[in-house]
């Protein structure tokens, strides 16, 4: 790497400090930003679950108080998607809860809503299955979902028609994402250590990436490379975190990149799994359970036990490198479930459970260079 690149990094190293911790009776399983001033946090009981244990809290980030809530859902909330409805200041939500997706209008006069107040409840999988993640496209017209059985599907929000992909993962599918500027394309990741790229209109696989096991010289084996987390930048860079502590980065679908697969014309399909434009690197001893891009070249990741690391993705001399620019450790969270970073990278939010099996949200603010 050139000296000028190191100099630029040295002058822009961030520092995040734990500003506020929000505590809840049950572990936090999912988080999302509404607009910049609201944080949505979903939870559910971890041990001995009882009926009506799923809840959603909406925090006002200026006061850190709950301003809206949903309670009495049948099980924990595994995923949250916020969207703006014309005429409403508060964001509406889709929640993944058990086999169903629930939609709520959060500007309701009721400060605490219940399951019966949902504006829509749609069953997305059968009785033997459970929803894991929801993703919404930029046009807010489709909702993608992943399930424990390994299946991937898309819900058309205008017609409520559900289309399922013709190929499933052979194990749990925890990850699903829409690809920016590719209206028909999604990616998914599963515990079968594979990433699948679909045309969801046709329901067909366009490309696939299988993460190989980590090579161990003495014959000992680590955890399999289950796909535990993923993120896609606005420019189409794909990142995935594995159970054996590695991060995989795919650059073949990056807009405006100067990679080996760059073409003079826009490619017919996203080529994010191109083997010529990838990086696979071990960065932790435990599972990488959450990650988020704040810029196309800045990726923040969390291990299961709360080691938070921010990397700058550097391309120098035709080589790709991950350069660590910040590292910290959660204070109260002993197991991380989710991580968010806002668009200007000034606020980092980590959520999960504490040592006494309750919930916590840690909000870290950026200090130092802007």
Mean pLDDT of the residues in the chain: 90
Residue 100 has pLDDT above 80, yes or no: yes
pLDDT band at 22 (very low <50, low <70, confident <90, very high): very high
pLDDT band at 89 (very low <50, low <70, confident <90, very high): confident
Residue 2 has pLDDT above 90, yes or no: no
Residue 84 has pLDDT above 90, yes or no: yes
Longest Cα pair distance anywhere in the chain, in angstroms? 63
CA dihedral of residues 94, 98, 99, 102 (deg, nearest 10):
-20
Nearest-angstrom CA–CA distance, 299 and 307: 14
Q: pTM of the entire structure?
A: 0.91
pLDDT band at 257 (very low <50, low <70, confident <90, very high): low
- What pLDDT is attached to residue 13? 81
- What pLDDT is attached to residue 48? 46
SS3 per-residue string spanning 86-148: CCCCCCEEEEEECCEEEEECCCCCCCEECHHHCCEEEECCCCCCCEEEEEECCCCCEEEEEEC
Mean pLDDT of the 316-345 span: 92
Mean pLDDT of the 158-171 span: 97
Q: What are phi and psi of 147, to 5 degrees?
A: -135, 165
Give the start-to-end residue ranges of the domains of the chain: 3-26+127-213+222-367
Residue 267 has pLDDT above 80, yes or no: no
Residue 284 has pLDDT above 60, yes or no: yes
Q: What are phi and psi of 213, to 5 degrees?
A: -60, 150
Mean pLDDT of the 234-242 span: 96
Mean pLDDT of the 68-78 span: 95
The CATH number corresponding to 3-26+127-213+222-367 among 2.170.140.10, 1.20.58.1030, 3.20.20.10, 2.130.10.10 equals: 2.130.10.10
Residue 3 has pLDDT above 80, yes or no: no
pLDDT band at 269 (very low <50, low <70, confident <90, very high): confident
DSSP for residue 51: S
Partnered with residue 175 across adjacent β-strands are 189
Nearest-angstrom CA–CA distance, 42 and 328: 24
Please write the tens of the pLDDT for every residue from 23-62.
999 999 999 999 878 999 999 854 545 544 799 999 999 9
């Amino acid at each position: 790497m050139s000296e000028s690149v190191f100099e630029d990094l040295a002058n822009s190293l961030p520092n995040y400090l734990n500003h506020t911790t929000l505590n809840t009776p049950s572990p936090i399983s999912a988080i999302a930003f509404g607009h910049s001033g609201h944080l949505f946090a979903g939870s559910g009981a971890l041990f001995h679950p009882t009926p009506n244990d799923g809840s959603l809290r909406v925090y006002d980030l200026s006061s850190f108080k709950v301003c809206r809530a949903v309670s009495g859902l049948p099980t924990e909330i595994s995923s949250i998607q916020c969207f703006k409805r014309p005429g409403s200041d508060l964001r509406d939500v889709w929640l993944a809860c058990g086999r169903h997706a629930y939609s709520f209008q959060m500007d309701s006069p009721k400060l605490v809503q219940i399951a019966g107040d949902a504006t829509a409840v749609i069953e997305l999988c059968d009785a033997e299955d459970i929803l894991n993640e929801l993703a919404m496209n930029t046009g807010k017209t489709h909702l993608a979902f992943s399930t424990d059985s390994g299946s991937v599907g898309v819900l058309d929000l205008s017609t409520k028609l559900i289309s399922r992909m013709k190929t499933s993962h052979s194990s749990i599918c925890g990850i699903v994402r829409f690809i920016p500027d590719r209206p028909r394309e999604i990616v998914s990741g599963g515990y079968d250590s594979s990433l699948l790229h679909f045309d969801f209109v046709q329901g067909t696989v366009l490309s696939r990436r299988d993460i190989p096991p980590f090579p161990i010289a003495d014959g000992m084996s680590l955890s399999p490379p289950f796909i535990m987390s993923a993120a896609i930048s606005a420019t189409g860079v794909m990142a995935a975190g594995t159970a054996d502590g590695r991060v995989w980065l795919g650059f073949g679908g990056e807009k405006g990149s100067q990679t080996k697969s760059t073409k003079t014309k826009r490619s017919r399909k996203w080529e994010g799994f191109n083997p010529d434009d990838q990086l696979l690197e071990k960065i932790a001893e435990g599972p990488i359970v959450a990650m988020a891009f704040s810029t196309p070249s800045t990726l923040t990741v969390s291990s299961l036990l709360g080691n938070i690391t921010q990397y700058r993705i550097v391309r120098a001399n035709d080589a790709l490198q991950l350069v660590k620019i910040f590292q910290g450790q959660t204070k109260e969270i002993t197991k991380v479930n989710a991580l968010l970073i806002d668009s200007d990278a000034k606020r980092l939010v980590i959520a999960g459970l504490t040592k006494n099996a309750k919930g916590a949200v840690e909000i870290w603010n950026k200090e130092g260079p802007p």
